[in-house]
Amino acid sequence: MKRKLIAGNWKMNGNAAANESLVRAVLAGMGDAACTVAVCVPAPYLAQVQALRAGTALELGAQDVSEHAQGAYTGEVSADMLREFGVRYVIVGHSERRQYHAESDAVVAEKVKAALAAGITPIVCVGETLAQREEGRTSAIVKRQMAAVIHTNGHCISEIAVAYEPVWAIGTGRTATPEQAQEVHAVLRAQLKAATEHADRVLILYGGSMNAANAVSLLAQPDIDGGLIGGASLKAPDFLQIIAAAR
Ligand code: 13P
């Protein structure tokens, strides 16, 4: 059995005091977790959380990375900079970045390349909007998003993680059913299989209103290898219940 990954995406939430109590509570409760656990924190808090997690099994993640290695890109953070803070995962192509920061499939693919070059595992987010689902275009949309990443990264694609995050399920309390999620995960797995013989080792996470109540049934699906958790990752008891469900 593959070890599952439960990653919290704090988004733009937290402050030094709240982060400390949240991380301490997660560390106190996660014990010898059966899955890999990570928190993807806002960039200014990487050093703080790096120190809090030192010597523990909690992994550190970031929420975005520049596609460029260095230079005149005001406000951007490079993969090498993330690496210096012990970052192991970086979320790339989250729908909020695609929507509010106009990140194209091509830019997302370049960001994946930059992360891989620094030895950081990109968690590549794909997902359809409600309108796209209702038009029956879900598979076509996620395949298009993934195809750009495969095209740019070739055989290195086996080193990524993927998160299927239906846009209509993010922060809405409306979760994809386990069957709906599994169907899309299977599409993505098949696409990865056509690109690499190591597709089975790529972790495909589900994200979108995942919580303590629905985690067990989602994580029971054959192609759901973990979760990318937004709101519920900000509350230690909820996050810990999801961690406990991932075995
Ligand atoms: P919620 O869990 O708050 O729906 O957010 C999901 C998400 O966007 C994780 O990246």
Q: Which residues are catalytic?
A: 94, 165
Residue nearest to atom 5 of ligand 1 (CA): 230
Please give the pLDDT value at position 172. Answer: 93
pTM above 0.85, yes or no: yes
Please give the pLDDT value at position 124. Answer: 98
pLDDT category at 92 given cuts 50, 70, 90 is very high
Please give the pLDDT value at position 167. Answer: 97
Pocket lining: 196 vs ligand 1, CB cutoff 6 Å: no
Question: Probe ligand 1: pick from 11, 89, 175, 204, max atoms within 8 Å of CB?
Answer: 11
Q: Measure 72 CA to ligand 1 centroid, in angstroms.
A: 31
pLDDT at 1 over 80: no
Pocket lining: 115 vs ligand 1, CB cutoff 6 Å: no
Q: What is the pLDDT of residues 188-242, one digit of tens each?
A: 999 999 999 999 999 999 999 999 999 999 999 999 999 999 999 999 999 999 9
Q: What is the pLDDT of residues 33-60, one digit of tens each?
A: 999 999 999 999 999 999 999 999 999 9
Residue nearest to atom 9 of ligand 1 (CA): 230
pLDDT at 136 over 80: yes
Pocket lining: 228 vs ligand 1, CB cutoff 6 Å: yes
In the chain, % of residues over pLDDT 70: 100
Pocket lining: 230 vs ligand 1, CB cutoff 6 Å: yes
Q: Measure 210 CA to ligand 1 centroid, in angstroms.
A: 7
Q: Given the CA of residue 173, which atom of ligand 1 is nearest to it?
A: 4
Residue nearest to atom 7 of ligand 1 (CA): 230
Q: Measure 218 CA to ligand 1 centroid, in angstroms.
A: 14
Q: What would the two tokens of residue 153 be?
A: 């990264």
Q: Does domain 5-65+75-245 have CATH number 3.20.20.70?
A: yes
Compute the average pLDDT of residues 146-164.
97
Please give the pLDDT value at position 109. Answer: 98
